[in-house]
Amino acid sequence: MTAGEIERLQKDYLMPTYAPGLALVEGAGAHVWDADGNEYLDFVSGIAVTNIGHCHPKMIRAVQDQVETLVHVSNLFYNAKQPVLAKKLAERSGLPGAKCFFSNSGAESNEGLIKLARLWGSEHGKYEIITMRQSFHGRTLATLTATGQEKVQTGFGPLPQGFVYATFNDIDSVEEAISSKTAAVLVEALQGEGGVIPADQEFLSDLRKLCDERGILLLCDEVQSGMGRTGKWFGFQNYDVIPDAFSLAKGLGNGVPIGAIVAGEKLADIFQPGRHATTFGGTPLACAAALSVIEVIEEEELLANTQMMGAYFAEGLCELAMKYKKWIAGVRGLGLLLGLVLDVPAAPLQKKLQEKGMLAIATAGNVLRLLPPLNVTQEEIDQALKLIGEACADLHDEMAEQSPNPCVCGEGE
């Protein structure tokens, strides 16, 4: 099927919730190919999903074996893969007495966290969840309300009650938002959709202390920053802070849909039969895929590779930022969740890169988000830096031609 045929079918039969620009049909490692045979260096990774790259052999074997054995039974029956996966996540979480609940997506996992916090606080009339402005927690009614961005909420009112917004990296703002109804604070260790903004060490440490002092829960959204993306299993581990519970999805299944809640001892047994459920969450197939992801990360030492390649990539991006400092503000992020922060819109740079054979994402208006797989090589990073450099040079020349003065960002030397 040609790209044109795929596009026509999409327009005729799919709701226009996205505006895709390519028809991708094949992938291997950090590379993908479109329906016309063009190759791209994939530094989107399905938006931090394919953390071990496309079509990893170990994952292929695990999924094939499971499809031939048992795909689904429902959670009315024991599932041999699910408790094994739960044990591995609990052991790596650092949460004392941790237990898991499996879902199908990040939004479901965050919805479950919200329900868990409300159920925990219901005896004392606590139901409010404090979230951060510019956060992103999902697209269900509850999670888009938890998301501190008006643009994802517009048109969906009336929104559910019980959400209060504070300012990220501002502990005073959080403290001011706490009331007698507050059950929990939900926070990302790194705001991906909000512009690749890492939490400050002092902020997360103070937030843990504040939650303990006020008798409320600290919940972490690890949907994008989890499963090794920041160089640790989970983003909060960069800060030596232990939440009461956290959510997972995206990289957990490397493309096979699966999400999870990992809850410490305070919350591990709050959900009892009949209080929360899922038909598809944690199927044998999804759990087999997730188990293969954990095996690959450990066997190939991808946490170390993420730290090393992340530092190497960030250094190269910083050099580009210095070269084009009139319109590139800098670089931020953790591990292999990096953002090139611009003083101009990022969409033109994203488009330039795609034309040159590299995929990245413009986010928060002026940030180019870069998400290579965790097993990316130095050669692939070098290739990415070369392509970004060429795209920046082209864009710089175009902006210089359009500007009446030599300073393209409107600031003097």
d(CA 180, CA 128): 9
Which domain-ending residue is among 269, 299, 329? 299
The number of distinct structural domains making up the chain is 2
How confident is the model at residue 401, as a pLDDT?
83
Question: Range of 386's domain?
Answer: 3-55+301-402
Q: Is 235 annotated as a binding residue?
A: no
12 and 101 in a single domain? The answer is no
Q: Is 212 annotated as a binding residue?
A: no
75 and 39 in a single domain? The answer is no
In a domain, residue 153? The reply is: yes
Instruction: List pLDDT tens digits, range 287-336.
Output: 999 999 999 999 999 999 999 999 999 999 999 999 999 999 999 999 99
How confident is the model at residue 403, as a pLDDT?
67
Q: Is 221 annotated as a binding residue?
A: yes
Q: Is 106 annotated as a binding residue?
A: yes
In a domain, residue 409? The reply is: no
378 and 289 in a single domain? The answer is no
Q: How many CA atoms, within 13 angstroms, populate the side-chain half-sphere of residue 346?
A: 21
In a domain, residue 370? The reply is: yes
Q: Is 17 annotated as a binding residue?
A: no
Query: Is the bond leading into 96 cis (omega within 30 degrees of zero)?
Result: no
Q: How far is CA 278 from CA 83, 160, 199, 258, 393, in A?
A: 16, 22, 32, 12, 50
Instruction: List pLDDT tens digits, range 17-63.
Output: 999 989 999 999 999 999 999 999 999 999 999 999 999 999 999 99
In a domain, residue 412? The reply is: no
111 and 31 in a single domain? The answer is no
Instruction: List pLDDT tens digits, range 218-277.
Output: 999 999 999 999 999 999 999 999 999 999 999 999 999 999 999 999 999 999 999 999
63 and 126 in a single domain? The answer is yes
Q: Is 2 annotated as a binding residue?
A: no
The mean pLDDT of 79-97, rounded to a whole number, is 98
Q: Decide if pLDDT at 350 tops 60.
A: yes
Q: Is 278 annotated as a binding residue?
A: yes
How confident is the model at residue 404, as a pLDDT?
53
Q: Is 161 annotated as a binding residue?
A: no
284 neighbors 66 (Cβ within 8 angstroms): yes
Q: Left (φ > 0), alpha (ψ -120 to 50) or beta: where does 109 sit?
A: alpha
Percent of the chain with pLDDT over 70: 97
Cβ of 406: how many Cβ atoms within 10 Å? 9
283 and 143 in a single domain? The answer is yes
Q: How far is CA 290 from CA 204, 254, 342, in A?
A: 28, 7, 35
Q: Is 139 annotated as a binding residue?
A: yes
222 and 89 in a single domain? The answer is yes
Q: Is 107 annotated as a binding residue?
A: yes
Q: Decide if pLDDT at 204 tops 50.
A: yes
Q: Which distant-in-sequence residues (6+ apart) come within 8 Å of 257 by Cβ? A: 104, 105, 249, 286
